[in-house]
């Protein structure tokens, strides 16, 4: 359906936002049952009841909204990386010239080290 991958950081932020949203709903339900069990009338206690809701569950709702928004922004502005797969035709051929060049370079490297060693041996013999 969609070929665009979800960035890991966006996924993590969405999961945390979801957990906070679930905790907010659970908290609102518990607050409502607590206030109902206390038989407090809403008229005259509006400020206290709204304040109790906001201090107990409102902050988690705000954090969930912020984290979800941040995840959405990161998802929209993240660069899309597409891995290119090599063509199968190129995999079946072998470049013999490159293989020969590598072995030649290795042999010359060994020759250079032996020449350096002989020069060092001559200096030691002179002393």
pLDDT band, very low/low/confident/very high, at 84 (cuts 50, 70, 90): low
Cα dihedral value 16, 20, 26, 31, nearest 10: 160
DSSP state letter for 42: S
Residue 78 near residue 41 (C-beta atoms within 8 A): no
5-58 confidence digits (pLDDT tens): 888 899 999 999 999 999 999 999 999 898 888 888 888 888 888 898 898 899
Q: What is the reported pLDDT for 5? A: 82
pLDDT band, very low/low/confident/very high, at 60 (cuts 50, 70, 90): very high
Residues 42, 44: Cα–Cα separation, whole Å: 6
Residues 97, 104: Cα–Cα separation, whole Å: 11
């Amino acid at each position: 359906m969609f070929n665009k991958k979800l960035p890991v950081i966006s996924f993590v932020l969405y999961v945390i936002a979801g957990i906070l949203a679930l905790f907010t709903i659970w908290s609102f339900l518990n607050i409502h049952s607590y206030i109902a069990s206390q038989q407090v009338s809403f008229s005259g206690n509006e400020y206290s009841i709204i304040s109790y809701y906001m201090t107990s569950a409102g902050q988690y709702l705000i954090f969930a909204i912020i984290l979800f928004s941040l995840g959405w922004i990161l998802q929209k502005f993240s660069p899309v990386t597409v891995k290119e797969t090599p063509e199968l035709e190129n995999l079946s051929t072998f470049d013999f010239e490159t293989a020969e060049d590598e072995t030649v370079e290795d042999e010359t490297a060994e020759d250079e080290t032996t020449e350096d060693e002989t020069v060092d041996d001559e200096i030691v013999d002179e002393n």
